Amino acid sequence: SHERICRYIARKSDSVVVSVGYGLSPEHKYPGQTLDCLSATVHFLKTAENYGVDPARVIVCGDSVGGTFTASVCQELVKRGDIPKIRAQVLIYPFLQALNFNLPSHQKNAFTAFLSRERTVHFILKYLNKDCSMKEAILAGAHVPESINLKYRKWINPDLIPEIFKLGYKPPLPTSFLPQVHEETKELFETRVSPLLAEDAVFCCLPDACIITCEHDVLRDDGLLYKKRLEDNNIKVTWHHMEEGFH
């Protein structure tokens, strides 16, 4: 589905572009998609010179859930000392956390066409091969115990969103924690699904980033929060916000 875009990028940037044909859900189970992208990236870094590419100038890029895979791959490669380092990461309206679906952008764009707030959670549950009847509980935040909320509020919190993006925002009503939903959806708290939850020890080693966010996108604030985390860890970020953009 992205072949034409990849060809366009290759032509306009005079670059070699590799499009990873990762296995799709539900036939291919989580985390197979991320592992496919990781394997392809490692292979290319090891063989880049065969394609006329400088291995020190490799960029990983993805949009939407591809942005999730991009962030995850870059985080996992932080641990690797046997291959060249990724030069930069490009995250285009990425999905980066599954703890809080009541951020300002979730409220503002709850019913936006194509990717509504409800469809976002529906797609995540389908991706993880989970029962979609848990959707409403997750939207309300009932899958997150107080201990996890307290641990990660320093990174995922509407107070961290710039005021210009919080017009009309209303704090959500308190919800009761549902242990059974939490047990069924523990994957949501893994960094392969929620890269925003990675520790600072990982963030401080990440490559430079370009982040693209869209105003009319339910995932806008994921990108804003990731931008802040990178900058807080002294990682160079180039940010483009599309005022009229949709997911």
Q: What is the share, in percent, of the chain residues with pLDDT greater than 90? A: 97
Distance CA 98, CA 190 (A): 9
Helix (H) or strand (E) holding 38: helix 32-47
228 closest CA partner among 151, 150, 154: 154
Band the pLDDT of 2: cuts 50, 70, 90: confident
221-238 average pLDDT score: 99
Band the pLDDT of 112: cuts 50, 70, 90: very high
> 215, 105 in Cβ contact below 8 A?
no
Please name each of the domains of the chain with its CATH number. Answer: 3-246 (3.40.50.1820)
pLDDT, residue 193, reads 99
Answer whether the bond into residue 158 is a cis peptide, omega within 30°. no
pTM above 0.75, yes or no: yes
Distance CA 169, CA 182 (A): 26
> 181, 142 in Cβ contact below 8 A?
yes
Cβ burial of 150 (10 Å; 0-12, 13-18, 19+) is exposed
200-213 average pLDDT score: 99
Under DSSP, the state recorded for 155 is T
Helix (H) or strand (E) holding 108: helix 104-108
What confidence tens digit (pLDDT) does each residue in 126-182 have? 999 999 999 999 999 999 999 999 999 999 999 999 999 999 999 999 999 999 999
Answer whether the bond into residue 94 is a cis peptide, omega within 30°. no
41-50 average pLDDT score: 98
Alpha-helical regions (H) of 48-99: 65-77
> Is the pLDDT reported for residue 1 higher than 80?
no
> Is the pLDDT reported for residue 34 higher than 80?
yes
Active-site annotation, residues: 64, 217, 247
